[in-house]
Amino acid sequence: MGSWLRIGVGFVYMAVATVVHGLLMLLLLPWRGVRIRSCNLWGWVTGRFCMWLSGSSLEVHGAGNLSGDRPVIYVSNHTSMLDIFLGIWLAPLGTVGVAKKEVVYYPFFGQLYWLSGHLRLDRGHHGRALEAMRELVRIVARYRLSIWMWPEGTRSRDGRLLPFKKGIWHLACATGLPVVPVVVSGAHQAWEKGSMRLRPTHVTVEVLPAIDTSGWATRDADEVVQELHDLFEARLPPAQRSLRAAA
């Protein structure tokens, strides 16, 4: 199946699945926690289908660390649209997403993301970003949710790891939740940023054990974030490590 046909089938699927589930979201408007969990179920089906449609194979190591038996913050690197579908597929029930505010402009997916009660951050407006963070802390505690985020803030164009934003440090300190690194390798080759070409490849996901963040508040944010970044560097193949590490 050619790239354009695969993308076309995926677009039609997203349109139909989003409209159907969106109607359910309207019925569930008073119950945000239920909407988020319902969207997780939608993500399990949609993410798996889109991964299959991409033609790429998937290998997951450390899947037991995605058990969902307690709230945590899942942190993943981001190199491709495929990472989003992997995230919504692998995220345990009761996981709220954190994405840039522009996600709402993604056809169908973005509108359902917003309607389901997931969080969007306005990175260009410090005040609104802080308020969104405070709202996230409130709903995580109220509904006993985990968080899934991409700390680079945007997709890497060449697959190499970008610097992490300090939002992960702020979230961990505010919620007290452990951090679970989710290292994705190979997705950038399956669907390059800015391209409409799908190239079947082998994608590997390594889910590492939870990191205790109870002492992060007393440490320098830049130092903590760099340590987390270095952990990803060590697990990624050389072609995906940052230019600093590759030098």
pLDDT, tens digit, 9 for 90 and up, residues 66-116: 988 899 999 999 988 889 999 999 999 999 998 878 888 888 888 999 999
Provide the residue range defining the domain that includes 235.
3-246
Q: What is the pLDDT of residues 107-153, one digit of tens each?
A: 888 899 999 998 877 766 667 777 777 888 899 999 999 999 999 98
Q: Report the DSSP beta bridge partners of residue 180.
A: 74
The pairing of beta strand 119-121 with beta strand 73-76: unpaired
Q: Are 202 and 170 in contact (CB under 8 A)?
A: no
Pick the residue with more confidence: 3 or 200? Answer: 200
Give me the CATH number covering residue 162: 3.40.1130
> Within a 13 Å sphere around the CA of 171, how many CA atoms are in the beta-carbon half?
32
For the chain, helix (H) and strand (E) counts, in that order, are: 9, 7
Task: Kindly report the length of the chain.
Answer: 247
Pick the residue with more confidence: 238 or 125? Answer: 238
Q: What is the pLDDT of residue 1?
A: 61
Cβ neighbours around 124 below 10 Å, total? 10
- pTM of this structure: 0.92
Residue range 27-42: average pLDDT? 95
Q: Report the DSSP beta bridge partners of residue 57.
A: 202
Q: What is the pLDDT of residue 167?
A: 87
Q: What is the pLDDT of residue 124?
A: 63
Q: Are 129 and 108 in contact (CB under 8 A)?
A: no
For the chain, the domain total comes to 1
Kindly state the percentage of the chain with pLDDT values over 90: 64
Q: What is the pLDDT of residue 125?
A: 64
Q: At what angle do helices 3-27 and 32-54 cross, to 10 degrees?
A: 170
Q: What is the pLDDT of residue 180?
A: 98
Kindly state the percentage of the chain with pLDDT values over 70: 95
CB proximity list for 49: less than 8 A, separation 6 or greater: 13
Cβ neighbours around 56 below 10 Å, total? 21
DSSP E strand boundaries for the chain: 57-61, 73-76, 95-100, 119-121, 146-149, 179-185, 202-207
Residue type, 26: L
Residue range 151-175: average pLDDT? 90
